Structure 1
Amino acid sequence: MFTVDTYTPLDQAKPIGKDIWIFDGPVIGFKYAGLKLPFPTRMTVIRLADGKLFVHSPIRLNEVLKAEIDALGEVAYLIAPNTIHYASVPDWQKAYPNAKAFCAPGVIKRAKSVGIAVSFDAELADTAETEWASEIEQVMVRGSYLNEAVFFHTASKTLILTDLIENFEAPKIKSPIWRFMVKMVGTMAPHGSTPRDMRLTFAGHKDGLRKAVETMIAWTPEYVVLAHGKCYAQNAVNELKRAFSWVLK
């Protein structure tokens, strides 16, 4: 019923800076209010100074994608950045058994509740893990339902978000109903933002979210990766201020 176009080509490395790439994946169906809603998927890969790969929000793994990844370096860290983005981690763990897996708080409980068997080496915190602290900054955003770890690759000045901002492009949405719904929740490009329904998860956590957003802005990113929709390749700081104006007031 609801369909969207993908960001082709899929499963291929798309450089956005030195030693950092995005990979666009297939559309997945996200169950919400009895509906199966289409979300294009995207992951980010950073090659650290030692050649090891930091894989953020792993997408569906196949042989084409694996070959692309193996050409970049050794997969060392698998990141489930929030309580929605973790389903593909088990397949990556099978393919890369030596990789360490990290998750946002709440992921383990959430995965168990829906019957997904996955284990992690550690939970992400408010400060960067020692494995990448010299190259990637991090801040944790906590809510009643959604916890999301936000990362900043200092060398490329790239901020990596997952669901805190969604920015769907109208021409890619084939269903008028889904287009209307996207507009209603405030996630239609070029005015993407935190979905209005998702903002409820931060009702009692606005001070923490505001501080996290202020940290993101202080990092002065030049590129913002979003998991769903069009990324911000220009005026990144202004886009953050606009998208998070509902909490910065």
Structure 2
Amino acid sequence: MTSDRSLEPRLEPYAPLNVLKPVAPDVWIVDGPEITFAWIGLKLPFTTRMTVIRLSNGDLILHSPVGYSLELRSALEALGPIRFLVAPNSLHYWWIPDWKVQLPGVPVLAIPGLDKRAKRPVQVDQLLMDRQSPWPDEIDLLVVKGDVLTEAVFFHRLSKTLILTDLIENFELKRIHGWFFRMLVRFSGAADPDGKAPIDMQLSFFRSGQALRKAVRQMIVWAPERIVIAHGRWYEKDAVKELRRAFRWV
């Protein structure tokens, strides 16, 4: 993904932007500006969303950070010290180098292979490996591998919050400006209220379907109460029901 601020937003943003919004105890989201994703010659718009987790010792984890600003950093540091920057999949990394420049001592945690696939240099300090959570007493981790996408899935036990990135996308059609993108979203299967992984991403898990099914079963066993996703309307309730619906293609 790349930032393209020269374009007028083609998705109605989840205002207010770049401010902390409470989700659950010690969990917040920050909705950011539109970003574009290049796909077969098209520039497709996506909304962006960061998830912030505060550990029991007060340290903050920034999951899929949105754009850096002094104002946002100050708001975050009022909650606690920023200790981890997380690139949860091979697409969600774009603004991490900007945060790393400002916070050089904060480690970047990323899925394997990001350094080779990223379209801008990203310093990776620690790899996210399957079930090897850097915070085993508070957060469970799964790494789901596909041919196109590898994604780290996080479950914050205290709040029962499941944090996904692109494994579920849930675009609200009423927020999309332009018939062509609305058509693409409908065709891809990523439209609210039946959002899921887009069809091209589903196909990329053809060879790893068994592993994905196992991962989905684990997510259900965790019994989350809510699911935060990066693109579109996230799920404030009925999380297990939404998992069964969104992953029925598996």
TM class by shorter chain equals: over 0.9
Question: What is the CA-CA distance between 1:39 and the residue it aligns to?
Answer: 0.2
Matched, 1:61 2:34: no
Query: RMSD of aligned C-alpha atoms?
Result: 1.1
Question: What is the CA-CA distance between 1:6 and the residue it aligns to?
Answer: 0.6
Match of 1:23 among 8, 27, 30: 30
| Identical positions, percent | 48
The amino acid across from 1:109 in the alignment is K
Question: What is the CA-CA distance between 1:63 and the residue it aligns to?
Answer: 2.1
Count of residue correspondences: 243
Q: Secondary structure at the match of 1:125?
A: coil
User: 1:110-163, CA deviations, whole angstroms, 9 ceiling, x for partnerless residues?
Assistant: 02xx3x111111110111334x11100010100111000000000000000000
Aligned to 1:118: 122
Q: Secondary structure at the match of 2:143?
A: strand
Match of 1:129 among 111, 129, 133: 133
Distance (Å, rounded) in 2 between the aligned partners of 1:11 and 1:37: 21
Q: Detail structure 1 runs of 4+ shifted over 4 Å in the superposition.
A: none
Q: Secondary structure at the match of 2:45?
A: strand
Matched, 1:143 2:150: no
- The unaligned stretches of length 5 or more in structure 2 are 1-6
Distance (Å, rounded) in 1 between the aligned partners of 2:110 and 2:57: 22
Aligned to 2:78: 71
Aligned to 1:35: 42
CA contact (8 A) 1:186 1:194 kept: yes
Q: Secondary structure at the match of 1:194?
A: coil
The amino acid across from 2:204 in the alignment is T
CA contact (8 A) 1:166 1:193 kept: yes
Matched, 1:104 2:108: no
CA contact (8 A) 1:128 1:136 kept: no
Aligned to 2:57: 50
Match of 2:212 among 206, 209, 213: 209
Question: What is the CA-CA distance between 1:67 and the residue it aligns to?
Answer: 1.8
CA contact (8 A) 2:169 2:231 kept: yes
* Alignment TM-score, normalising by the size of structure 1: 0.95
